[in-house]
Amino acid sequence: MNSAVQRAQRGFSLLEVLVAFSILALSLGILMQIFSRAMTATALGGAYHRAITLAESKLSLVGLEMPLEIGTESGETEDGFSWQVVIRDYPQPDTGWETSSSLYEISAQVSWETAEGSRQVVLRTLRLGTESP
């Protein structure tokens, strides 16, 4: 009976505890990498969302607050995004019809800096405008 009591009270050896702690440390390290990458991807996704929203808003201002004329406007936001709106003449196909309107290509570029380098988003659209006399 004495040997049965000794076996029950024996516990874990030092080697078993070290192996268990090593497995735990490796598992926590892998989990930390996964969470770190997920947080980076979430932050980058948020930045792309803000950049696209800014580019869409700049495109919608052309013809309202920005004149629909060939040229470039640019600026920066308080949160580190820089934007540029470029309006170019767009070549119209020869249809044989006389029109009093012209077609413009409008592009809005938004760029920002990250720890991995520079990022940018470019949105383009065509807009019909009247020719100036």
Per-domain boundaries in the chain: 2-130
Q: Check if the beta carbon of residue 51 is closer than 8 Å to that of residue 82.
A: no
- Residue-wise pLDDT for 30-87, tens only, equals 999 999 999 988 888 999 999 999 999 999 999 888 888 899 999 999 989 999 999 9
DSSP letters for 49-81: HHHHHHHHHHHHHBTTTB-SSSEEEEEE-TTS-
DSSP state, residue 6: H
Output the pTM of the full model. 0.70
